[in-house]
Amino acid sequence: MSSRQMVDKSVVNILWSYLSFVSTKALNLISIIIVARYLSPAEFGVMAFGLIVIGYFEHLQGFGLGAYLISTRDDIAEAAEAVFAFAVSVSALLFMVMWFGSDTLAGWLDQPELGDILRFLSIALLIESAASVHSSLLQRDLKFRLKIFPEVARGLVKGLLSITLAIMGYGVWSLAYGYVAGTAAWTLVLLVMRPWRPRRLPRLPVLLGALRYGGNILIADLCNTLRASLDSIMVGKILGPAALGLFAVAQRMPALALKTFSVEATKVIHPVMSQMQADKSMLQTYYYGLVRYQCLLMLSAGVTIALMTEPLITLLYTQEWRGVIAPMQILSIAFAFATINMLPGAVYKAINRSDYFLLTSAISLPIIAAVMWIAVPYGVEAVAFGHLVLVFLNYVPNFLILRRVIGVDAAPTVRATLPGLACALGTAAGGLAARVLSPDNAFAMLALTVAGAGAAYLLMLRLMAPEVFRELRRLLDKVRRRRDKRNALPQEPAE
């Protein structure tokens, strides 16, 4: 497959993957906005604690073997059976640990109500394990278009049930019931969309091979999960559940628009890179292209979210949520830059060097702990600023490893980021100019800010990356030709 075909396949599948993920998260965001009118920041904080713990257990559940199933080029059937056997058995074990240990954990966190919530959330581990292989197989086959159906089912069930129960006065339990019900809906639809069932127990050599690969990924994922949740754990433990509730909501929109795009993009990039794992030159070129286009899109998106935060929070939330504004603005910029740090992990997985993934995770964990330890006592805004500092500290070990394994160099990496930086600065100037001209009305301010930032971004994109418009025209022409060919009527035979 040519480099152009690889890029085309990547772009299409990234868009479908992101659409499937955002379809759930957008529904979830809408439900959170509505539920926030019936719940306090402290109640959101309790649920945030629960999701941190259950998220950590979800990584243990997969044992890093989903990535193994995607990367392996050996017997896929046996690899899938190994992944399934581990997912189900480990999930059952984790369910028992959670069921009997939740009160102890809740006591350490000074959140008595959390114990019962964790026990209930642990049911989702058992439910989710049934479809662990099905989800990985869709990703391996690059059938990201099909993933939209289970994600939409999850979002609808979770959102509608949470809203209904919140209105009925169930408090934090409305979020817990919605989470488990959404997981059940996701699992059922996925089982239908990608039929598969195990036929036998995996052989020991296959099992050991999967464990060798998955062990490094598991430890790295656990480190990354702890990295991602360490700020929230410390905020909740030191500043209390109300501050954690504010911080959780402040992260939600930037994470949806920025972090999750990169997470979903790497799900596509990983299997695509796996097909070129033997060609380091091709991997290097592909990596530079990813950095360029990630910066062109994500940096301006982060600036736009930061600009629209104040009028958006004013419109959607009640007065008690005003403390979300400043940390959300800072996190929008931090998360935009942090998306670049997600690309190296896809490279490590693609070349079957999960030990590098583990190494960078282990290096960054104490750095994050130190920065958060300094920042948390100064409040949620300081924690958000700490994320901005960590972006640059965490990139250094990744860059050094990439330079060694695929020959990535500093100069072309910087050149790949410059067009995105220029577009982000132009976007900021356009959004601020429009905001100055807007009336003292939250809706008008939001609309004019988005319009000004969007117009400035398109202008800068045309100047800094004109090839984007050429590629867009090429893809549109391709779609148009396919449509015309499909709609063409057959010629009537001459009489």
Burial of 361 per CB tally in 10 Å (0-12, 13-18, 19+): buried
477 three-state secondary structure: helix
Residue with tokens 């958060």: 372
39 three-state secondary structure: coil
Q: Look at residue 113 in the predicted model and tell me its pLDDT.
A: 80
Q: Look at residue 3 in the predicted model and tell me its pLDDT.
A: 47
CA 311 to chain centre: 25
265 three-state secondary structure: helix
Question: What is the Cα gyration radius of the chain?
Answer: 23
Q: Please check the confidence at residue 371 and state whether its pLDDT lies above 80.
A: yes
Task: Give the phi and the psi of residue 438 in degrees, each rounded to 5.
Answer: -80, 150
Contact of 380 with 322, CB cutoff 8 Å: no
Spatial distance between the Cα atoms of 31 and 41, rounded to a whole number of angstroms: 15
pLDDT tens string 295-351: 998 999 999 999 999 998 988 887 888 889 999 999 999 999 988 888 887 788 777
CA dihedral (63, 254, 273, 408) in degrees, to 10, reads: -110
- Closest by CA to 61, choosing from 92, 29, 35, is 92
pLDDT tens string 272-296: 777 776 777 888 888 888 889 889 9
**By 3-state DSSP, what share of the chain in percent is helix, strand and coil, each rounded to 5?**
85, 0, 15
Q: How do the domains of the chain map onto residue ranges?
A: 1-202, 243-478
Query: Please, what is the average pLDDT of the chain?
Result: 80
Spatial distance between the Cα atoms of 482 and 470, rounded to a whole number of angstroms: 18
Q: Look at residue 141 in the predicted model and tell me its pLDDT.
A: 64
Contact of 22 with 259, CB cutoff 8 Å: no
Kindly state the helix (H) or strand (E) to which residue 128 belongs, with its residue range.
Answer: helix 123-129
How far CA 489 is from CA of 476, 477, 479, 484, 494, in Å, comes to: 22, 20, 18, 10, 15
CB-based contacts of 72: which residues, under 8 Å, 6+ apart?
79, 210, 213
Spatial distance between the Cα atoms of 8 and 2, rounded to a whole number of angstroms: 10
CA 133 to chain centre: 20
Quick one: DSSP state of residue 33? H
How far CA 186 is from CA of 21, 58, 132, 176, 379, in Å, comes to: 12, 15, 11, 16, 37
Please give the share of the chain, as a percent, with pLDDT higher than 70.
79
Q: Please check the confidence at residue 186 and state whether its pLDDT lies above 70.
A: yes
Lowest mean pLDDT among 10-14, 365-369, 417-421, 473-477: 10-14
Spatial distance between the Cα atoms of 341 and 92, rounded to a whole number of angstroms: 34
Please give the share of the chain, as a percent, with pLDDT higher than 90.
19
Q: 180 falls in which pLDDT band (50, 70, 90)?
A: very high
Tokens of residue 455, six digits: 């117009």
- Closest by CA to 194, choosing from 276, 269, 133, 106, is 133
Contact of 161 with 181, CB cutoff 8 Å: yes
pLDDT tens string 60-95: 665 556 666 666 656 677 777 777 777 777 788 888
Quick one: DSSP state of residue 110? T
Q: 151 falls in which pLDDT band (50, 70, 90)?
A: confident
HSE-CB for 143 with a 13 A CA cutoff: 13
Q: Look at residue 389 in the predicted model and tell me its pLDDT.
A: 92
112 three-state secondary structure: coil
- Find the mean pLDDT for residues 38-45: 79
- Which three-class secondary structure string do you get for 433-489? HHHHHCCCCHHHHHHHHHHHHHHHHHHHHHHHCHHHHHHHHHHHHHHHHHHHHHHCC
Contact of 248 with 236, CB cutoff 8 Å: no
DSSP assignment of 155-209 equals: HHHHHHHHHHHHHTT-TTHHHHHHHHHHHHHHHHHHHHHS-----SPPPHHHHHH
CB-based contacts of 397: which residues, under 8 Å, 6+ apart?
359, 360, 363, 364
Q: Look at residue 494 in the predicted model and tell me its pLDDT.
A: 47
How far CA 159 is from CA of 56, 118, 165, 170, in Å, comes to: 22, 19, 10, 14
- Find the mean pLDDT for residues 178-189: 90
Q: Look at residue 448 in the predicted model and tell me its pLDDT.
A: 92
CA dihedral (200, 206, 211, 217) in degrees, to 10, reads: -100
Spatial distance between the Cα atoms of 224 and 133, rounded to a whole number of angstroms: 22
